[in-house]
Amino acid sequence: MVTPHPLARAGSWTGRSSRRGREPLLEQSPGPDSPVGALWASLVEVLAAIDGPSSALLATATGDTVAVHGLAQADVARVARQSRAAFAARTPGGPDPDRVVDTAELTLGLRHTVIASVPAPASERHLLTVTAQGVSVQVLEAWTRRLADDIHQALSKTA
């Protein structure tokens, strides 16, 4: 009989320390007047329900943080930088990421990351990076793409 890892039995990873064991994980939501506030809250709820580590970052394409869930402060800039690099390295020929939502998927072991380019009218685009373990990459990609479409719609209404 194989016993699960002791941390995998816990219900939620919210508020746990980072892998470094020192820094608490960030929970930074968009402001109360933000058109994406409710969408971000729904993302956090879904990630909290996953039985495994998860994180999310919504940042501008230049790396300015809009919202963070489940990352240590020291990791935010690195994840934003790596997300920009990974998205830029995707296979060319897809849709124009400045006009429609496009995604790139990365898998390392059991952990999946989906990076969605979210066009924002009259401003720079955003990158939504969602990482989770304990969910299939197909489900994570579909959910992240849908959320990115919803964020795009919300930003379009305020433009």
For the stretch 18-62, pLDDT in tens is 444 556 777 888 877 888 899 999 999 999 998 889 999 999 888
Give the distance, in angstroms, between the CA of residue 42 and the centroid of all CA atoms in the same chain: 12
Q: How far is Cα 145 from Cα 155, in angstroms, rounded to an integer? A: 15
Q: Which domain holds residue 143?
A: 12-158
For residue 14, give the nearest of 58, 49, 66 by alpha carbon.
Answer: 49
Residue 2 has pLDDT above 70, yes or no: no
Q: Report yes or no on 76 lying in a domain.
A: yes
- The mean pLDDT of the chain is 80
Mean pLDDT of the region 63-75? 90
User: pLDDT grade, residue 130 (50/70/90)?
Assistant: very high
Q: Report yes or no on 3 lying in a domain.
A: no
**Number of domains, the chain:** 1
Mean pLDDT of the region 104-110? 90
Q: Report yes or no on 83 lying in a domain.
A: yes
- CA dihedral 7→10→16→20, nearest 10 degrees, is 10
Q: What pLDDT does 23 receive?
A: 63
Q: Report yes or no on 51 lying in a domain.
A: yes
CATH number of the domain at 90, please: 3.30.450.30
Residue 92 has pLDDT above 70, yes or no: no
Concatenated DSSP letters of 78-97 = HHHHHHHHHHHTSPTTS--T
Q: What pLDDT does 28 receive?
A: 80
